[in-house]
Amino acid sequence: MMIRSSLVFALALLALALGGSSVGFAQSRDALGRFKDWDAYKTTVGGQIACFAVSKPKDMLPKGVNRDPVFFLISTWPGRSVSNEPSIQTGYTYREGSSATVTVAGQSFDFFTKDDGAWLASTAEEKKLLAALRKGSTMTAKGTSSRGTITTDRYSLAGISAALDKVAEACK
């Protein structure tokens, strides 16, 4: 799981550095569209198609903490039989051995962490989270940095269903 998303993170960070849309991604031939607070992209990595829906937080606490780009990513890799894999790019290195918690629609999901990313451990949990995301209006992600700072990021879920539908259409 983690290695697959790491490649998409690298692409997302490159696009982020170029500037552009609501999450700072470059508008390119790979952009599938903006759907309220979510964007969808399609690209090729190592000859394989990858698609992802992505959003940045609306609010980040504590305020003023120095962090690299922060976003929530849901990636699909048809050639690797990966569909709708959620992950967090937190903008800092997580505390070793810590987990991140995502809360949406009254449900909490524990993500395992590695360096500056976080993932769910099972596809069953991924499916539950995706169902909650489609029903919810906001999502909160909490984590602890290697320095002990506890962060809380709030995401809008406006447009997530349309972005996920576009990813599914583009990455069959």
What gap in Å lies between CA 84 and CA 134, rounded to an integer? 12
Whether the CB-CB separation of 96 and 146 falls below 8 Å is answered with yes
Section 125-153 average pLDDT: 97
What gap in Å lies between CA 170 and CA 172, rounded to an integer? 6
Domain ranges of the chain: 2-170
Of residues 31 and 131, the one with the higher pLDDT is: 131
Please classify residue 51 by burial: count the beta carbons closer than 10 Å to its beta carbon, then call 0-12 exposed, 13-18 middle and 19+ buried: buried
| Domain 2-170 top-level CATH class | mainly beta
Q: What is the pLDDT of residue 45?
A: 77
Whether the CB-CB separation of 155 and 37 falls below 8 Å is answered with yes
Lowest-pLDDT range of 10-24, 74-88, 103-117 = 10-24
Q: What is the pLDDT of residue 28?
A: 38
Section 2-6 average pLDDT: 48
Q: What is the pLDDT of residues 39-59, one digit of tens each?
A: 999 988 778 888 999 999 999
What sections of the chain are H helices per DSSP?
2-17, 123-135, 160-170
